[in-house]
Amino acid sequence: MQLSVIILNYNVRYFLEQCVLSVQKALEGIDGEIIVIDNASSDESCEMMKAKFPQIKLIENKDNLGFPKGNNIGVAQAKGEYVCILNPDTVVAEDTFFKILNSQLVTRNSQLGIIGCKLIDGAGNFLPESKRGVPTPWVAFTKIFGLYKISNYFGKYYAQHLSENESGKVDILVGAFMVMKRELYLEIGGFDENCFMYSDDIDLSYLVLKSGKSNYYFHETSVIHYKGESTVRDGAYMKRFREAMQFFYNKHFKKSWFFDVMMQVGSFVFSLLKKSQQKNEVRTIDEYIVFSRENLELNLSKKAIYLADFNQFVNQPQKNIEIIFDTTTFSFAEIITFMQLNKSKNLSFKNYISSSNYLIGSNNSNDRGQIILL
């Protein structure tokens, strides 16, 4: 078997359904499997998986074991030569796995570590954490205080030696989407289960670098990562975030008084910033545009314009327009490309999932997302 896709879920039932649908399409023509691990969800995620995807392996944990241990459990049961660690609040394109597994980074690279790809948010905007540098004290300082926005000289945190449209070596990749050999994952010990979450992907990436391998950012395929959906940024989040960052620094760097103080203050400021950024944006929709190649009629709050071709779309910047994609007649690859080409402050995007009759999406990377049951 070539590829095992590992999806760790916790209370995102509708995002999980969309994610699995996209992965199924992306695995067509590939010898692969999907393994879903559920961390004791209370939102009928497991019931949905059993009813709609009975052929997919589902592991039901009795407790929330955290991101590292949950993924390690999944990889332990995987059969693929490669594993993909994938968040449930993602949407992959139909050609994502094919492009990565057939790229020269995989086929002609004996020193391959982890491959990540271009991630975009629910509004079509590039997510800079798709590629990062090791957050040493100085690099973390430039991130926390925004110096990376001033000059690429301070741009190591987001690996600004590469543009979003350039592939190449990077230090750190994001745990929302990681592809690597299963053998390498097991060799370095997988995710460190002493870290509950938030620095686990940094730690895994860094362990791969220490093993002598190289990590790569691959720009030729894009994946939607709604990002804000999986985590509520409350007081518990802030505490875990500080603890996780401190865990990484204590594990990998020489301990010093200055280092500890800076990281304590820096991680606290950063976590406060993250908390303040998360919001559930309320938009007044002036017009709906539904893209479908069938005679689809949705029960929306306002009259909708139905179009069968992306070329028929003309943006009207003075209006707040919500675009709805019929995912049964448009591919996820087509949808992702359209979002990237047409991203605009007046546009929001939702996917229509016909199997459960709902709309799903988010308006920015800090928005927890929106699910509309029709």
pLDDT of residue 353: 98
Domain(s) labelled CATH 3.90.550.10 in the chain stretch across 3-225
Q: Which tens digit of pLDDT belongs to each residue from 39-51? A: 999 999 999 999 9
pLDDT of residue 144: 63
Q: Which tens digit of pLDDT belongs to each residue from 313-359? A: 999 999 999 999 999 999 999 999 999 999 999 999 999 999 999 99
Is it the case that residue 273 has pLDDT exceeding 70? no
CATH of domain 3-225: 3.90.550.10
Distances (CA, A) of 52 to 13, 48, 277, 356, 369: 12, 6, 35, 9, 22
Beta-sheet pairing, 358-361 with 370-373: antiparallel
Q: Which tens digit of pLDDT belongs to each residue from 220-252? A: 999 999 975 555 555 566 566 667 777 787 788
Q: Which tens digit of pLDDT belongs to each residue from 68-98? A: 999 999 999 999 999 999 999 999 999 999 9
pLDDT of residue 72: 98
Could you tell me which residue, 242 or 174, shows the higher pLDDT?
Answer: 174
Q: What is the mean pLDDT of residues 59-63?
A: 97
Residue 178 backbone zone (phi > 0: left; psi -120 to 50: alpha; other: beta): beta
What is the chain's percent helix, strand, coil content, to nearest 5?
35, 25, 40
User: How crowded is the C-beta side of 369, counted as CA atoms within 13 Å?
Assistant: 24
Q: Which tens digit of pLDDT belongs to each residue from 6-32? A: 999 999 999 999 999 999 999 999 999
Residue 159 CA to residue 156 CA, distance in Å, equals 5
DSSP letter, residue 134: -
Looking at every residue in the chain, the average pLDDT score rounds to 89
